[in-house]
Chains A and B, each alone.
Chain A
Amino acid sequence: MHFNPKQFLRNIPLHFMILPGLVLIIIFSYIPMAGLVIAFQDFSPISGFREITWNGLDNFCYLFELPGFRQVVWNTIFISIMKIAAGLTVPVIAALLLNEVRINGFKRSIQTIIYMPHFFSWVILGGIVVDVLSPSSGIVNMVLKSLGMQPIQFLADNNWFPYILVITDQWKEFGFGTIIYLAALTSIDQSLYEASIIDGAGRWKQTWHITLPGIRPIMILMLTLSLGNVLNGGFDQVFNLYNPLVYESGDILDTMIYRIGLQEAQYSVSTALGLIKSVVSFAFIGFGYYLAYRFAKYRIF
């Protein structure tokens, strides 16, 4: 990791290859940041940046005074944290189970089936979810009814809705997440298993002492990456599934930005909201990197 001038000079052509990427990032990610100033202005698209009326923190105050704003923040955090937790456990378990399957054809077909939903958009999946969870004709409620229970309006009940979001999100994504862990599993040194068998370790002990520690760095990496998304409840999903009955538990920052910013054209307010999101997310990413460094010695610099 030491800076080596000689090596650097030798690799100058390689460094040039980064240039287009850097230029793109500067143009499309850094220059637009200047636009964040409209969060502190009374921005009107017509006068644009030529006539600027600063209004300090008014837009932020307006946001905090909106009825239900706290609820929306709480919903967002609650839903994302559950999603992150599920996203860390479900794919790992699925990967471990798949890893135990010895018949290759069976393993492959399972894998294909479970990662298929990843490729569908929420517009399509939303329709499927509504059908599957329908109280009168959906398969879930048919099972409940055959067990003698009352049908449940999963998508119209505030007690259920956040959990349905987490479950359906996992349904869509866990197969794809599994691929990463399966790849990580193949990189574990097989001789460790052979040694442990000689020491008399069973399947369970092997999993606990070799496999899980083996994929720990990847798990930490995935956690780090997902922490940056802690304020993204998943706009597509919520937007396609929610309805007035579950605004209370399902409205998240992104859907709020959409309603306020795009439908009502309040650019300043939605920028302010986006800025809050970014700042909080940045803090979470920092925290994530700290965790990654602390527990997995993972560092980017």
Chain B
Amino acid sequence: MRNKTRGLPALATAIVLSLVLSACSGNNAANNKATGDSSGANALAETENGPLTKYDPPIKLRSTMNETGKETLAQGDTHSNNVWTRGYEEELGIKVSYDWIVADANYNDKMNVTMASGDLPDLLKVSTVQFEQLYKAGMLEDLTEVYDKYASDLVKEYYSEEDGAGLKPVTKDDKLYAMVSFGGSLDSSDMIWIRKDWMDKLGLSEPQSMQDIIQIAEDFTFKDPDGNGKQDTYGISLNKDLPINAFLLGYHGYLETWTQNAQGEIVNGTTQPEVKNGLAELQRLYKEGVIDPEFGVKDFAKAMEDVNAGKSGILFLPQWAPFQVKDMIKKDKNVNWVPYPVQSIDDQPAKTQNHLGLGGVFAIRKGYEHPEALIKLLNFQAEKMFGESAKTERAKYLNGDTGLGFQNAVVANLPPNKNVKAQDEVEIALETKDTSKMGLEAKLFYDDIMAYRGGDLDKWHMERIFGPLSSQSVIKHYRDKDLIVMNEFIYAPTKTMNSKQATLDKLRAETFVKIIYGSLPVDDFDKFVTNWKKLGGDQITQEVNEVVKGN
């Protein structure tokens, strides 16, 4: 008898455990049911159909959330109850709930699991690959009509940027199956960052050609730009992920881009002969000692440590580079990184290669009664951040004017290429001292720059991103002089890409690093091209041509 009672706790534990486990799944099922019922009843209730009309009675919308960091939330708020979700409910009559909220890094995996479970949320925030799978399975609502009817002028204006390229990847047979977060392509531009203080010290003038860049790199290595009497600096900072795009662009090699050749065929930039010329020069520079001899074992963070320790003078990074080196300026305000456009080795102008940046795809589950709710949510976010109401409410919704609070909105879309436009306004305002015509964001950037000029070294990066001599001004130069080569392939990966791209990328990384290290001759590039084609490259090229020409 005593023995039996002693066994009870263990038994109880087991029972409780199984109850908890079954409760998890039970809960979900109950939720689904509730949502289904209520949304059905509301279909008739809606009368007026403006971009921001309120649903009365309110409707329910299930979605999912990626957690990007608690600091974007106001004190006491959570991802499921914050200024955005309350705003949706009070002003739009949309009760947004999240089936699950996971860390950003796990979002994609969790969404794959959710898609496999078959229990889809009403609003699907997915990747382009997942969008393609959902579309093929016929699980998405056609949004063409609701977009035309409900999208606010502001939202329509955003999506019309770059000839409407943003919505192309989600348009199938002239029907729109999703909305996207479309940042435009300009911010992906490549550029060359050079230590101006070193150039000044060595009496070097601004680079006008690739030859100048190479000369500067060599002088940075051999002429002791930091003046410590030792030859301990390198011209060019590299790492094992090979950020050599900005260098190869000087040889007109478009490593990451599908371009159209003279015959009208889409070809992959990686395998073009121009790349070989650039690699040959990199090999020579490495042999000379202009590139860190250990770059092949260093990752990005490790290489940036060297840069921050004043070991190298040329960086190939896009417009956000100043964030990586801003601490150098706080330690020594003479340090001066300045961006330059990519330079050319011959008389042809060098161009940047740009990509369409889709930050996310937002689709509606087939069968959801209010597909227009997605459009309204986008209208709402645009209005609160950039519309008329932004003047009074922006700070509230962003948790501070410059906050990243838009990440807590269920769907968000920032104006495409807004940064280069802001730079325009900032530059004019800096000249005229007239801030009255500035947009809200540009004004904030302007204030930061004025703070830097007043001595706040914490704001140096704003000067180099939005000031007169900045990465956005380089981007403006590309845009105005028509120096942009766009990636022609803006769609989801093709079938063979899915299965072979990893192998091809490995092959490329291995070959290129070895060529630069000099352990393979430059001519092995030709062997690489042959292998690349054989191992799936040819098939991928064919598929890419079919997709691009079919759209």
Contacts and interface: CB of A to CB of B under 8 A. Distances in A.
A50 interface: yes
B549 interface: no
A19 B498 contact: no
Given A13-B3, A13-B4, A49-B116, A264 B13 contact: no
Interface in B3-54: 3-4, 6-7, 10-11, 13-14, 17-18, 21
B112 A265 contact: yes
Contact of A247 (B17, B116, B506): B506
A247 B240 CA distance: 12
A203 interface: no
A266 B498 contact: yes
A153 B498 CA distance: 35
Given A23-B18, A244-B513, A134 B294 contact: yes
Contacts, number: 111
Interface string B284-298: 000000000110111
Interface string A232-257: 00000000010111011001000000
A25 to B, nearest CB: 12
B13 A20 contact: yes
A265 B117 CA distance: 17
A245 B7 contact: no
A27 B22 CA distance: 12
Interface in A22-60: 23, 27, 44-50
B286 to A, nearest CB: 12
Contacts of B113: 45
A244 B510 contact: yes
A126 to B, nearest CB: 9
B296 A244 contact: yes
Contact of B137 (A46, A66, A243, A266): A46
B40 to A, nearest CB: 25
A49 B118 CA distance: 10
A286 B115 CA distance: 39
Contacts of B160: none
B502 A260 contact: yes
B356 to A, nearest CB: 21
A45 B116 contact: yes
A177 interface: no
Contacts of B11: 16, 19
Nearest to A133: B297
Interface in B512-546: 512-514, 517, 519, 531, 535
How many chain A residues sit at the interface, stated as a range, is: 35 or more
B139 interface: yes
A32 to B, nearest CB: 12
Contacts of B21: 27
A264 B513 contact: no
Contact of A136 (B134, B293, B517): B293
Interface string A87-108: 0000000000000000000000
Nearest to A9: B3
Interface string B315-345: 0000000000000000000000000000000
A156 B498 contact: no
A86 B136 CA distance: 52
Given A20-B14, A23-B17, A243 B302 contact: no
Contacts of B7: 12-13, 16
Contact of B296 (A50, A136, A156, A260): A156
A256 to B, nearest CB: 9
B134 A46 contact: yes
A260 B136 CA distance: 23
Contacts of B501: 264
Nearest to A131: B302
Interface residues of B, number: 48
B133 interface: yes
Contacts of A266: 498-499
Contacts of A47: 137
A20 B10 CA distance: 8
A79 interface: no
B134 A245 contact: no
B103 interface: no
B211 interface: no
B3 A46 contact: no
A19 B134 CA distance: 41
A209 interface: no
Which has the most chain B C-beta neighbours within 10 Å: A13, A67, A263? A13
B240 A243 contact: yes
Contacts of A244: 240, 242, 296, 506, 509-510, 512-514
A49 B4 CA distance: 44
A297 interface: no
Interface string B479-518: 0000000000000000000110111001101101110010
A130 interface: yes
A213 interface: no
A259 B502 contact: yes
B129 interface: yes
A247 B519 CA distance: 14
B116 A46 contact: yes
Nearest to B6: A13
Given A10-B3, A134-B294, A244-B509, 16 more contacts: A12-B3, A13-B3, A13-B6, A20-B10, A46-B130, A46-B137, A135-B293, A156-B294, A156-B517, A241-B297, A244-B506, A245-B519, A259-B506, A263-B502, A264-B498, A265-B498
Interface of B: 3-4, 6-7, 10-11, 13-14, 17-18, 21, 112-113, 115-118, 129-130, 133-134, 136-137, 139, 240, 242, 293-294, 296-298, 302, 498-499, 501-503, 506-507, 509-510, 512-514, 517, 519, 531, 535
12 contacts: A12-B7, A13-B3, A20-B13, A45-B113, A46-B137, A46-B139, A47-B137, A155-B297, A156-B294, A244-B512, A259-B502, A266-B499
Interface of A: 10, 12-13, 16-17, 19-20, 23, 27, 44-50, 62, 66-67, 127, 130, 134-136, 153, 155-156, 241, 243-245, 247-248, 251, 259-260, 263-266, 269
Closest 10 CB pairs of A and B: A13-B7, A48-B116, A244-B509, A16-B10, A46-B133, A155-B297, A45-B112, A244-B513, A243-B240, A19-B14
